Structure 1
Amino acid sequence: MSRYAISDIHGCLKTFRYMVEEVIKLKYRDRLYLLGDYIDRGPDSKGVLDYIMKLKKDSYRVYTLCGNHEDMMMKARDNSIYHTSWMFNGGKEALKSFRAETIKDVRFTYWDFMEELEPFIELDDYLLVHAGFNFAAPDPAADRHTLMWSRTFEVDKSKLGRRKIVHGHTPIPLERMRAAIKDPTALVINIDGGCVFKDKFGYLTALNLDTLELHTVKYME
């Protein structure tokens, strides 16, 4: 059994499928943790959600977190400010993939999926989250905005214990990612390779949480 974490797929279905089926070769006994941002910007947000739901239906052990883009889309249903922001940050591409003229036309199946996404996952050796934790708060896990949206945060070692934090949300070069993975003193590992930003970053990454092996797939949409 192996445990993998992937973040920030952003509608890149071909790249994601290749990672799952040809690179890590996901098995039923493995665990796959997806850290959010499945939708927006890339060409096939709907396809990514369909594929994740199929993996779950086929009894693969897939655990899904909420990213800021899912959070933004859910809020965009009833908030014009969020709707404008969502459309500017990939919502147009998402609606096109759903073949929906407006956000109200997106089928309930996808809303049900997004509403069931977890804000974070706590393992014995890792805290998995989309963006970060507010360790200054009495309960860091209760600050949903930081969980989904934070770009910077300070770690309180007394609350973290012997665990490491694995997150996405902010694209970084592979060299920085590998440096953090190899550093035994690093408390935080960012695994967002900026897959959808193919001209600047352009990699989807999967971190083996047991061996710390980093798997990479270049944008292939």
Structure 2
Amino acid sequence: MQCGIWAMEIRMTCTIHYLPDRVLPETGVRERSPVFDPYQIDTLAPEEPLYVIGDVHGCLDLLERVLERVWKLRERSGGRIILVGDYVDRGPASAGVLSLLADLAAGNAPPTCLKGNHEIMMMEFLREPTRAIDWLMHGGRATLRSYGLDPLHPFYATKADLDRLAEKLADAIPPRVHSFLRDLKLSTRSGNIFVSHAGADPMVPLHRQSPDTLTWGHRSRATPRPDGSWVIQGHLAGRRPALSARHLIVDTGASDTGCLTTAVLQPGKIEFVSVRA
């Protein structure tokens, strides 16, 4: 199937919207009445342009195409590329995604790659396969297929089967990819923007967030933080990016919807660039 490019660019350069002019009766002077902006986009203050790419989930073709577009934007405006994690599982090419990202991580101006819960499940399976068997039920079998391995069915696999499968997977993953997975960050910051895979607990200082919260999420994730910081995350798939007050979810469900989205963040402005299969 020939893949076309679908792009959604939502420009929010003005965060104060105005009602039609009204005339002040005392002076006859015209005045524009501002309307409250619920997103508070004018508070966005990254130190440089940020290009935050949502969950990839084994969709190598979409990742290659979105990176091509983002690199062109970065050549024009500078800035930093951030990937929010969940590179593996569900989609057909997890091995290719990890190989590409490992190569980029070792190159010049590498992207910032964050750790998602699916990378955690995969690495736990490599260490203790019988305790991490749930990974096979949450997309891990697609990752195994991408490495040319028979994924088995967890309901019928013995401990010996799982141990052998974990050993085969460890042998199939190149050393540079093992290093890439070990070096994944839990979060990153730029100005008043905080990025992690699954958001942050709004009632806990950002420097004290637990690894579980950053990779698996928190029930109050969309509550605006009292410190004024923005939180950008993936983890929760939707057909469109989800924007609320100082909070953005950029996961558009690549493996299910065929759409991978990048949020382009600059002071007081958000744009979305998406590619579709």
2:183 matches 1:116: yes
From 246, 257, 261, the equivalent of 1:187 is: 246
1:212 paired residue among 264, 270, 273: 270
Runs of 4+ in 1 over 6 A off after TM superposition: none
- Between the two proteins, the alignment pairs up a number of residues equal to 207
Shift of 1:4: 0.1
Q: Which amino acid aligns with 1:206?
A: T
Give the whole-Å Cα distance in 1 for the aligned partners of 2:128 and 2:224.
34
The separation in 1 between residues aligned to 2:71 and 2:271, in whole angstroms, is 11
Do 1:30 and 1:61's aligned partners in 2 also have CA atoms closer than 8 Å? Answer: no
Question: What is the SS of the residue equivalent to 1:61?
Answer: coil
What is the TM-score of this pair, normalised by structure 2? Answer: 0.67
Match of 1:74 among 107, 116, 123: 123
Aligned-partner Cα distance in 2 for 1:142–1:91: 27
Measured in 2, the distance between the counterparts of 1:30 and 1:212 equals 14
Which structure dedicates a bigger proportion of its chain to helix?
A: 1
2:229 aligns with 163
Q: Which runs of 5+ in 1 are unaligned?
A: none
Is 2:102–2:176's contact at 8 Å kept on the other side of the alignment? no
Deviation at 1:24, TM superposition (A): 5.3
In structure 1, the residue matched to 2:214 is 147
Q: Which segment is superposed worse, 147-156 or 126-135?
A: 147-156
Secondary structure at the counterpart of residue 65 of structure 2: helix
| Percentage identity across paired residues of the two chains | 28
RCO greater where, 1 or 2, for CA within 8 Å and sep 6 or more? 2
Secondary structure of the corresponding residue to residue 127 of structure 1: strand
Indicate the RMSD between aligned Cα atoms, in angstroms: 2.3
Residue 92 of structure 1 and its aligned partner are, at CA, apart by 1.1
Q: Could you tell me the TM-score, scaled by structure 1's length? A: 0.83
Q: Distance in 1 between matches of 2:106 and 2:73?
A: 14
The equivalent of 1:90 in structure 2 is 139
